[in-house]
């Protein structure tokens, strides 16, 4: 069963807003939640630049909730913490989602340079169990993570 609804609680104005979601992306939902919390309120081009910097390991993703046993990164504290990681796979999934919502807004006739992220969230998707070979008799079960990610943007200004 796939996800077909949004978690957005506000009123959706189809003339000024665009949205997109993806289901069961091979990405960590915990990192996805932190990314969504970080890019919410930013413009789309600023969010894309931030995600590309995380992929290139120029700027870490600051972790506020899921930060146990995670080392501190150099530089000033951002968002009240210095602990962070570089989740490249999850950032690539978010970049694909940002490109999708930008295309959706372009089809609606919205100005792509004025899009601000109103809602960005990741929730837990299906978990798949795969077996890793471990000799002749026993094996080791591994869980593959997946996440549902959704984003809503609004045209601001003018």
At 118, which CATH number? 3.90.470.10
Q: What's the pLDDT score for residue 135?
A: 72
Least confident of 18-32, 35-49, 64-78: 64-78
Is position 143 within any domain?
yes
Is position 5 within any domain?
no
Is position 96 within any domain?
yes
Is position 61 within any domain?
yes
Whose CA is closest to 60, among 41, 42, 76?
76
Q: What's the pLDDT score for residue 63?
A: 85
Is position 3 within any domain?
no
**Number of domains observed in the structure of the chain:** 1
Is position 92 within any domain?
yes
Q: What's the pLDDT score for residue 148?
A: 93
Whose CA is closest to 151, among 111, 107, 95?
95
Close Cβ partners of 9 (under 8 Å, ≥ 6 residues apart): none
Portion of the chain with pLDDT greater than 70, in percent: 96
Is position 6 within any domain?
no
- Quote the distance between the C-alpha of residue 3 and its chain's center: 16
Element spanning 40, H or E: none
Q: CA angle, corner 144, sides to 130 and 72, nearest 5?
A: 135
Band (127; pLDDT cuts 50, 70, 90) = confident
Domain assignment of residue 149, given as a range: 17-155
Q: What's the pLDDT score for residue 158?
A: 53
Alpha-helical segments (H) within the chain: 29-39, 44-55, 88-108
Higher pLDDT, 132 or 21: 21
Q: What is the pLDDT of residues 60-113, one digit of tens each?
A: 898 888 778 888 888 787 777 788 899 999 999 999 999 999 999 999 999 999
Is position 10 within any domain?
no
């Amino acid at each position: 069963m796939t996800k077909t609804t949004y978690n957005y609680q506000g009123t959706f104005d189809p003339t000024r807003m665009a949205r997109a979601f993806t289901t069961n992306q091979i990405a960590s939902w915990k990192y996805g939640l932190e990314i969504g919390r970080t890019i919410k309120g930013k413009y789309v081009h600023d969010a894309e630049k931030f995600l590309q910097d995380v992929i290139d390991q120029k700027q870490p993703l600051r972790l506020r909730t899921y930060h146990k046993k995670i080392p501190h990164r150099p530089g000033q504290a951002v968002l009240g913490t210095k602990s962070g990681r570089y989740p490249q796979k999850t950032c690539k999934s978010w970049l694909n989602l940002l490109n999708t919502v930008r295309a959706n807004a372009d089809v609606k006739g919205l100005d792509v340079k004025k899009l601000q992220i109103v809602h960005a969230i990741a929730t837990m998707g299906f978990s798949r169990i795969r077996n890793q070979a471990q000799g002749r008799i026993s094996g080791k079960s591994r869980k593959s993570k997946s996440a549902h990610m959704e984003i809503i943007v609004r045209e601001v200004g003018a």
